[in-house]
Amino acid sequence: MKQKTFNDLGLSEEVLKALAEMGFESPTPIQRVALPPALAGHDVIGLAQTGTGKTAAFGIPLIEAAKEGNRKDPSALVLVPTRELAIQVCTEISRIGRHKGIVAAAVYGGQPITTQFRALKAGVDVVVGTPGRVMDHMRRKTLVLRNIRSVVLDEADEMLNMGFIEDMETILAEVPKERRTMLFSATMPAPILRLSGKYMTDPETVRADANNPVVAKISQVFYEVRSEDRTRALMRLLEVEDFSRVLVFCATRKDVDDLSAELQKAGYGAAGLHGDYPQELRDETMKRFRNGNTPVLVATDVAARGLDVQDVSHVVNYSLPQNAETHVHRIGRTGRAGKSGVAITLVSPREKSRLRLIERLTRSTIRQAPIPTKDDVKRARQQGTIDALAAAIATGSLDQHKKVVDALASRYSLEDIAAAAIRLMAGDMVVEDIAEVRQRTRGERPVSGGQVVKLRVGLGRKDGISVSDLVKSIAVQGRIPGRDIGKIALFDRHSFVEVPAHLARQVVTSMNQSRFPGKKIQVA
């Protein structure tokens, strides 16, 4: 079949420009089959899972159908099962529609309803929401449906599983009859089929070819780095990779402690997991990994055994696995439930032949990739900042902040004001050289210049504390930046921590007032 491009689909210049900026070169299989009928205004049932590009498959037609400047009441409504998906879909629609001036807003439970009133009142084209909250807004008349021309039920089977079937039906009965309806679902259980029969007109059913998924389930990549550069290389990868949850495997408990501490110091939401920690702490760590509070989990093979977490987007072999079987076990943590996953292996030049052996034994292909350059990291940071700002604009409620802009506008240009605000939010965007880091760590003086003092902390390994916990408590409770914390030595019942002399008193005072699960921390 001829490989269609987005240009063949008759899309507007504005949308084509946005897609190009997003790096979408050609339509995915579901987009190829869903876009033509959807753009022609037909009802469409798309059988597709997350990861197939389904959001753009319904998002592009909504954006093309929305009339610019006609923003008093929304023209499209997208129903989704969860708050996370609402934000994700809203962000993607805002990005695709940005040159057409399309405004999308996400409404979901858990966020103050008043914040959402303001966003809706300011005028939006596309509302993306969870059924419960959408109904809430309908009852309060803060969401007016009379201009709705397109309705999308995204992940309809998930909405059914979550008990939203009646809400979906109520909403569908309230939107104007002269509309087009699109339904996307991974499966078609009977209640969803019935719903489509009742509320859709002559729908065309399309599906992503199951034998030809967009991404192979697990894509395996390796990066060749010197052992001493592994941590910095991992941090660069974490900056450029689009991840949800990352599971990093280390060979030893000490590596787990050291790496999780380093990642925390650098500001990543990371935690360590190994057999030395008490069960209570391990359960808490797992809970935080599962609910997304700590998206990076550093673990030993033993600790990760039996760990069943959905949606691990990346597995990292920070240390090369002992054998092929362990490798298969590790990478099997990602790519679950039909989702795609990435398995990253960091190898030193000496370890490369062992990796090739694992590749042969597991009959897989592990492709080599270069470590992201400083420019790659800068670009990723810029994109992250752009996405975060687009999401903040889409969600609205900026009245207070606009007052600050007004106060400055007579003295400075809007461009300068915005750039300064972004700098405060995103920092200076400086990326360290890997070679620079290597030189600096060889000289070994992590604490930023000046005198350091060694503090004794009356808690140790047997109390269930880890290096990463210590860094976290000192940074948070001691109120000093993680990067100012120097060497940490952990013993069974006590530990030593280096901090800059001028901050020592502050750390001692604040730490002595705080507790580590159930225990008072004694620092001297």
Footprint of ligand AMP (CB under 6 A): 24, 27-28, 31, 50-56, 92
Least distance between ligand AMP and beta carbon 30 (Å) = 8
- Reference 109, options 137, 90, 88; nearest CA is 137
Least distance between ligand AMP and beta carbon 7 (Å) = 13
Least distance between ligand AMP and beta carbon 31 (Å) = 6
CA distance 483 to 286: 26
Residue placing its CB nearer to ligand AMP in the complex, 92 or 157: 92
CA distance 426 to 428: 7
Least distance between ligand AMP and beta carbon 385 (Å) = 17
Length of the chain: 524
DSSP state at residue 483: G
The CA angle 55-60-62, to the nearest 5 degrees, is 100
Residue placing its CB nearer to ligand AMP in the complex, 22 or 417: 22
Position 285: which residue type? T
Which two tokens mark 209? 């070819």
- Reference 508, options 457, 442, 447; nearest CA is 457
Residue placing its CB nearer to ligand AMP in the complex, 186 or 499: 186
Least distance between ligand AMP and beta carbon 444 (Å) = 41
Residue placing its CB nearer to ligand AMP in the complex, 27 or 321: 27
Residue placing its CB nearer to ligand AMP in the complex, 79 or 470: 79
CA distance 119 to 74: 12
Sign of CA dihedral 34, 38, 44, 45: positive
Tell me the C-alpha to C-alpha distance, in Å, between residue 350 and each of 48, 384, 480.
43, 35, 39
Residue placing its CB nearer to ligand AMP in the complex, 15 or 503: 15
Least distance between ligand AMP and beta carbon 51 (Å) = 5
CA distance 190 to 205: 15
Least distance between ligand AMP and beta carbon 341 (Å) = 13
Tell me the C-alpha to C-alpha distance, in Å, between residue 373 and each of 290, 334, 378.
31, 26, 9
Least distance between ligand AMP and beta carbon 88 (Å) = 7
Q: Using DSSP, state whether 367 is helix, strand or coil.
A: strand
Q: Using DSSP, state whether 346 is helix, strand or coil.
A: strand
Which two tokens mark 255? 């590596």
- Please check whether residue 471 is in contact with residue 457, taking contact to mean a CB–CB distance below 8 angstroms: no
Least distance between ligand AMP and beta carbon 122 (Å) = 26
Position 459: which residue type? L
CA distance 521 to 499: 16
Q: Using DSSP, state whether 91 is helix, strand or coil.
A: helix
